[in-house]
Amino acid sequence: MLKVNDQIVMSHQGSKKRIALFIDFENFFNGVGKSFKMLPVMEQLMERGKLSVTRAYGDWNQFADYRLDLIENGVALIEQTNVHAGGKNGADIKLAIDALDTAFRYPEIDTFAIASGDSDFLPLILKLREMSKYVIIISSRKLASTLLQKNCDEFLAMEIFGDDPIIEHDIHKAIDLLSRVIGIREENGEAMDIAQHKNMMRQLDPSFDEKLYGHRGKFKDFVELLLDEGNLPYHLHSTDNMTWYIVRDKRFAQHDHVNHKSHGWSPGSIKKKQWRIILDTIEQCIKDGEGKPMKGKLWIIMAYMQTKRRKGRLKVDDEEIKIALGFLVSKGILMQREKTIYDLAPGFTETVQEFIASL
């Protein structure tokens, strides 16, 4: 069953969005800097739907150098001159009022993009979502409020437009997110294409964007990378080369793991010394993961195996390791808590000793 935080609302999926863009320019500019260009932002939004309203709020005497760029990209400039002692121009209040007014007056606009990282916009975001609006936050990843990033439907990080091609260096975050989505889909018995997987990944983590990992190509290619890097037992399948689905690799399905003889495989296919390395590595991996969310996950185990292989100690390839894992489950040496999560069975040490002695 889905947890409350994992419930997925698919109402905006598969339809062309009507978008209203509201820019708190002072806050947005502080996050982006002097290299700011409006066109990349517009292009990102136009990939998602049709821009119906585009407004920027600020003291345009202060930001005169950027007026032309905004106007040329069809952005209406709303003047909010600094009148308060602290330099605040009240743009956030005016923006919030206009956004809600737009939501009420134009119900056909289903998507609101707020270009700001200011946590003061949290009540606005929550109200828009309460009205079944899809909310995109556009801001610098470093400066945007964590509250905004977690409570929007999609977080568009401005860093993806910078010079650094890779902002997020830990690919395992994306692997774990994809694995989580696949698990939810399988638990519900749903068949979903990769576009639906991406939609769900963003709903679980609004800040997810494959571009943060340096990927600028098709999402299909990024999914293949995640499946490969994470050693997840799935592959992509399509009947028309247009719509792609993530399907379980039958060779590594749970019943095939147990029925290892169907592969013409036997424990003797692996030498005793290699079995010791495999079992020691599994034990080390699971114990290292104690108390951590990654404990016992297949791709973590395979990563440990790859380390042994790079050092020249392990001679067994990934496919045979996966079959061996299924065999160890069938012998009660390992437990399979979920389809791709393993743990040491009770009496692991004694059972391993008996197994090694039997080889």
% pLDDT > 70, the chain: 86
Q: Assign residue 138 the CATH number of its domain.
A: 3.40.50.1010
pLDDT at 5: 36
Same domain, 179 and 228: yes
Residues 24 and 150 in one domain: yes
Q: What is the largest CA-CA distance in the chain?
A: 84
Number of CB atoms found within 10 A of residue 187's CB: 13
Helix, strand or coil, per DSSP, at residue 126:
helix
Helix axes of 91-105 and 122-130: crossing angle, nearest 10 degrees:
10
Q: Is 136 contained in some domain?
A: yes
pLDDT for residue 261 is more than 90: no
Mean per-residue pLDDT for 256-273?
67
Report whether pLDDT(87) > 60. no
Distance (Å, whole) CA 248 – CA 233: 6
Judge if 209 and 279 occupy the same domain. Answer: no
Same domain, 78 and 188: no
pLDDT per residue over 171-195, tens digit each?
Answer: 888 999 999 998 888 777 777 889 9
Query: In this predicted structure, what is the pLDDT of residue 83?
Result: 59
| Assigned domain for 56 exists | yes
Per-residue model confidence (pLDDT) at position 278: 95
- C-alpha distances out from residue 128 to 20, 42, 152, Å: 12, 21, 10
Domain boundary among the residues 106, 141, 161 is at 161
Question: Based on the domain organization, do 21 and 157 belong to the same domain?
Answer: yes
Beta carbons of 99 and 123 less than 8 angstroms apart: no
Do 86 and 105 reside in the same domain of the chain? Answer: yes
The reply to whether 217 falls in a domain is yes
pLDDT digits (tens, 9 = 90+) for 307-345: 888 788 899 988 888 888 888 988 889 998 777 789 998
pLDDT computed for residue 7 by the predictor: 37
Dihedral in degrees, nearest 10, Cα atoms 44, 95, 19, 115: 10
Q: Are 236 and 125 in a shared domain? A: no
Domain boundary pick from 161, 183, 213: 161
Domain annotation covers residue 6: no
Q: Are residues 308 and 351 in the same domain?
A: yes
User: 336 and 342 in contact (C-beta within 8 Å)?
Assistant: yes
User: Are 304 and 352 found together in one domain?
Assistant: yes
3-state secondary structure 179-213: HHHHHHHHHCCCCCEHHHHHHHHHHHCCCCCHHHH
Distance of CA 308 to the CA centre of its chain: 29
Question: What token pair was written down for 305?
Answer: 């195996």
Whether 273 maps to a domain, the answer reads yes
- Which contacts (CB < 8 Å, 24+ apart) does range 257-260 have? 257/322, 257/323, 257/325, 257/326, 257/327, 257/329, 257/330, 257/336, 258/326, 258/327, 258/329, 258/330, 260/323, 260/326, 260/327, 260/330
Beta pairing class for 245-248 and 234-237: antiparallel
> Whose CA is closest to 203, among 254, 153, 239?
153
Residue 284 has pLDDT above 60, yes or no: yes
* Number of separate domains in the chain: 3
Is there a single domain that holds both residue 282 and residue 237?
A: no
CATH number at 300 reads 1.10.10
User: pLDDT band for position 251 (50/70/90)?
Assistant: very low
E strand intervals along the chain = 17-24, 49-58, 76-79, 111-115, 134-139, 154-157, 234-237, 245-248, 334-338, 341-344
Instruction: From 263, 240, 241, 239, select the one nearest 250 (Cα to Cα).
Output: 263
Of 343, 332, 321, the C-alpha closest to 274 is 321
More confident of the two residues 13 and 237: 237
231, 302 Cβ separation under 8 angstroms? yes
* Between 63 and 22, residue with greater pLDDT: 22
Same domain for 305 and 334, yes or no, is yes
pLDDT in tens, 195-248: 999 989 988 888 888 888 877 778 998 898 898 888 888 888 887 778 899 888
| Residue 320, domain extent | 254-358
Q: Tell me which of 221, 248, 275 is where a domain ends.
A: 248
For residue 228, the one-letter residue type is: D
Within this chain, do residues 258 and 243 fall inside the same structural domain, yes or no? no
Structure-token match 């001679």, residue found: 315
| 4 domain residue, yes or no | no
In a domain, 9, yes or no: no
- Average pLDDT, stretch 4-9? 36
Residue 5 belongs to a domain: no
Confidence of residue 11 (pLDDT cuts 50, 70, 90): very low
